[in-house]
Structure 1
């Protein structure tokens, strides 16, 4: 007689057998197509739903508090992040400006125009947008849904690429691969730097490493060419983002992985000729991608030249060894991620984005990796060259951060073109790949690290978190207020390291997912649509005035006048510029007295002043210019002024309209009158 308990066990056994059959690798040791595409298909469904609902993570609602009082009806969960100003105060504002102007290749806000492709990456209607997939939504969706499309496409592509790589390494563990890919997506650095310029290099790196695995293992030439086509496309996508500080560490991780994987196949008996033949599709894709990129750059030669000729960032070169003990604490302080949400990085960095990091499980498993290599040496088996290559690039990146005096060699690897906080992306990618190969090795050999070997890295990580907490408690106790449970995340993270070492893989993956989602899940708000300033009363009046008597505007005061003018679509001397418009600055500074101050990638804002414009830089990426309506510049080149500034001299100004704003401020529209 069959009991309910035995029937349940029998059913469970059948389900396990069916799962193992479905996930059984093919003859090449690679996942079957249904396994490879399962999680990306789920992500696609989720993405379609989110875009259809217009839900995104934009912090554009941060602008609302300066314009309208009361609760934001579009805010579903979380809070807009002031620190994400590159997103809500630059990219989103410019995207709406582009929509208002009809997506031109040259935005006409600045007098003389501005190229929308370099380095702003704005939505536009030209052939290059085919390689900016996150911008395609603007061509057929309204702004609310286009912003959602822009938000989710690169992020979900990153998660899909992470899964594709992980499941290619661990074909029998698609569930673990999905959890690790999701956890990687929710890593602090990914969420705090959530822009296409960050996400596409990471997605490219993971997809390229997956393509290399398939190229070196798959018997199907068709699969190799399909992967090559994907990588060729993503290479152009990454290159057109042109943000070199994130591209360099991503490329270095792939380069070292490719060398390690190739040596591994050669040591396994593959002939050099066959190796070359297998890499032909990827090399061909790289050549095609390079040709497209070079052609595109050639069409943008004048803009690129002007951008590289700026005072900031210009031809920036960063020396080796610029990091210190606080930088190290910031890099390993993943248990304190929730403190960043309160914009209190404290010891961890200058601001929330710069302080963000990864939970580097793979790097913390370095003692286990050394044990794996020693074990293979003793057994006279093939060394795990993929792990060796990844470990080598980790040491290279760490040396760039902490070891001074080898700048000439660092320049050969283009490391001088990146920055310390951006190098963490490369460390995060290498760490994820190292973890995958550790799991693969432990599974293949049914092995686990010894108890002490597992406890040591977990214990060292835990001690590092305790040390950070003690220093913060004594020096900056306010840093710990938003992260009262840091000890819980530290313990759980240490358990992840221990569990992975002891081959408790599923349990470790679940714990990793909990740590990352709890720490960074609400870094960005859950928001419906976008806060569109065109729907406000001041913007409607601005557009009416411009329709009646088009003229050039200046916004004086806070960020609100600048954003209002941009989104209203009028010509203005305000905005965040890429390569400076010479024709605009020749009007403001005809003698080029302040060229060093305005020749930079920076936001252009105006404050009250006296006499001709004086240009200064409060910080490296901000340009502040004084405005006097009676000065020659205003009399000759400005017709209207939008201001919320106290102390603006209203001589030579006639008020047209004014609006009461939150915080007892007033936003006024003026016409410039003769002095």
Structure 2
């Protein structure tokens, strides 16, 4: 007994030394940060105050210091590291909504967002110093290049349903109601954009980003808490596992993430509806159903809506079968009214957009699809093996993937299935109906990416609209749910023989090696990196089947959650797109001539930059084609298949050649415009990297209005001489 007490004392003493080392390390970082920001005169920030970068840094370091000191104090009181960690986690879990509210208010007031806005610096040739952590990801162009300019244009025009600044004839914003703020009843289903209506633009933009992250964390916790049967610690780590997974991080601020949030929110609302008795509680839950039901439906991204729509339908049927006897006449009335309200809002949103949706469906790209499954390998189910490196080293082009496509959820499907099969064999069933649903859908999604199916099956199941990539994402999310459920029920006496464990790990190691080989990831990781990756994942699976749940959760933090923190940058404000010399020059012209039509010359980024400053732009991204406009400058039927698509539009001039259209990529067209055809388009202002005076002729003249200090960007006014 005395020996045990001595060992415990030595253990606490060792922990204490380690914690003091960590404390000293954090203090050193804090001092280095102070010196760095002092020497640089706080020049990292140019929007809401020069001290924000320092404050952001100092607050985080202060929190780390407090936590470290807390661990030291608890250690001195005889509390072990594990017990202390549980106490701390209990605090965060018990006060999660209050903590989330405080974090939300602080970050919104400071104007914090996670956009890759700094990618605009390559367009403006100006450094904004808006990034205070991480780096901009140019691959996220759907976010910073397309949707952010749309949002700013909507804000400038006070949220119209048809935005006249986008395209010559205006763009219908109704069926983009989840992407941009619009003054329409459908905005009820887009809580991420509510802040734009009453906050300054920088705070409204922060609201959009911060609320999305916090709701993802909170709903993921509640969802996992239900399906794991109230396993608090697994649910807590699992919430971060989902929110900072490579898939979520690389696809953040897309329809994919909003669909995940809405799917989880709807399940939570339905689950608790059957468990509450007070009328006001039921009404609040149905309000939640209305908001996130609208969000799920109006995201209009069937490739992923269908995936999680099927899963939700399965969960809904399961909940109704278990709880339908609890429903009263009052409940039927409430539910019916809620469903009718959702249908009504969807109708008044979609019906006015039918003609534009029809145009979109008949385009050359994306157009209508007939996908019958298949095209991927079983190795694609383990892309997560090398995802820990992607935030720091881009995926090489020889893999035929980019960082976003290569991203995947970290899961423990092989080990989970081994444990599940063993429990079924021994008739020690994992009593969890949700687990069976998730396994069934995991198998369906996995089969869809691996095998081709009959066209008739694809058509009548609606899977013809589901790409293998979206099915892979669905399988990955199911894999996380399955893993969390199994982890929550792990015990440290699983009953596996040593031979069985060695056999399992040997087979799994060979599979991991082959998967990395077929995914062309060995050259990406290198021999040493490949070896370390396989060893670490095998070790994690060993802990998994041995029932070491806390070791498994620590592993998840290291290989999934921590790398996820490094994917998206942390920014303050909108400096790269609102505070540059180019931005202010465009804003001045727009203020004097708000109706003048603009064009970005020989660039796919300049047109969208102009749009963000309030200009009416000819060639900003066309979400659906303006075929009548392009028919004015081309009567060649072959050109129709080129411009009849969602497109980034690059325009350059020719002094003598006939106007022609060229397809650069599936979503990128290039127009070589005869300069005399410019009058047909009625362009009045042009932003260009190149001098345009050489195109002056008897019909058209280009008058330079301004240029940047380096003489690399010019604003021209177009004068027609006829």
**What TM-score does the superposition give when structure 1 sets the normalisation length?**
0.84
> Which among 387, 402, 417 is matched to residue 351 of structure 1?
402
8 Å Cα contact 1:333/1:468 also seen in 2: no
Distance 1:553 1:94, change over 3 A: same
> Which among 569, 572, 575 is matched to residue 528 of structure 1?
572
What CA deviation, in whole Å up to 9, does each residue of 1:284-314 have, x standing for no partner? Answer: 7555434432342223323322322322212
CA distance in 2, matches of 1:181, 1:111: 45
8 Å Cα contact 1:155/1:199 also seen in 2: no
Alignment of 1:141-540 (within 5 A): 141-211=199-269, 213-214=271-272, 218=275, 220=277, 226-259=284-317, 265=322, 273=325, 285-286=338-339, 288-324=341-377, 328-329=379-380, 331-339=382-390, 341-346=392-397, 348-362=399-413, 364-376=415-427, 384-442=432-490, 448=494, 450=496, 460-467=507-514, 469=516, 477=523, 479-480=524-525, 485=529, 487-540=531-584
8 Å Cα contact 1:131/1:237 also seen in 2: yes
Shift in Å, 1:625: 1.7
Kindly indicate whether residue 133 of structure 2 is the aligned counterpart of residue 77 of structure 1: yes
CA distance in 1, matches of 2:540, 2:641: 50
8 Å Cα contact 2:250/2:404 also seen in 1: yes
Alignment of 1:89-100 (within 5 A): 89-100=145-156
SS of the equivalent of 1:623 reads: strand
Stretches of structure 2 that go unaligned for 5 or more consecutive residues are 10-73
Distance 1:117 1:605, change over 3 A: farther
- The answer for the alignment partner of 2:684 in structure 1 is 639
SS of the equivalent of 1:617 reads: strand
Kindly indicate whether residue 649 of structure 2 is the aligned counterpart of residue 601 of structure 1: no
Distance 1:457 1:103, change over 3 A: farther
SS of the equivalent of 1:83 reads: coil
What CA deviation, in whole Å up to 9, does each residue of 1:611-632 have, x standing for no partner? Answer: 554223211112322223223x
Kindly indicate whether residue 675 of structure 2 is the aligned counterpart of residue 629 of structure 1: yes
Kindly indicate whether residue 671 of structure 2 is the aligned counterpart of residue 620 of structure 1: no
Stretches of structure 1 that go unaligned for 5 or more consecutive residues are 24-33
Shift in Å, 1:188: 0.8
> Which among 40, 46, 55 is matched to residue 103 of structure 2?
46
- Aligned length in residues: 642
Distance 1:194 1:657, change over 3 A: same
8 Å Cα contact 1:642/1:667 also seen in 2: yes
Shift in Å, 1:179: 1.0
Shift in Å, 1:64: 1.3
SS of the equivalent of 1:339 reads: coil
SS of the equivalent of 2:676 reads: coil
Give the stretch that moved more between structures: 283-292 or 525-534: 283-292
Shift in Å, 1:321: 1.2
Shift in Å, 1:394: 1.0
Kindly indicate whether residue 163 of structure 2 is the aligned counterpart of residue 107 of structure 1: yes
Distance 1:252 1:488, change over 3 A: farther
What CA deviation, in whole Å up to 9, does each residue of 1:313-346 have, x standing for no partner? Answer: 1222212112246xx3474343344236533244
- The answer for the alignment partner of 2:52 in structure 1 is none
CA distance in 2, matches of 1:495, 1:208: 36
Higher RCO (CA 8 Å, separation ≥ 6 residues): 1
Kindly indicate whether residue 614 of structure 2 is the aligned counterpart of residue 569 of structure 1: yes
CA distance in 2, matches of 1:644, 1:615: 21
CA distance in 2, matches of 1:498, 1:476: 23
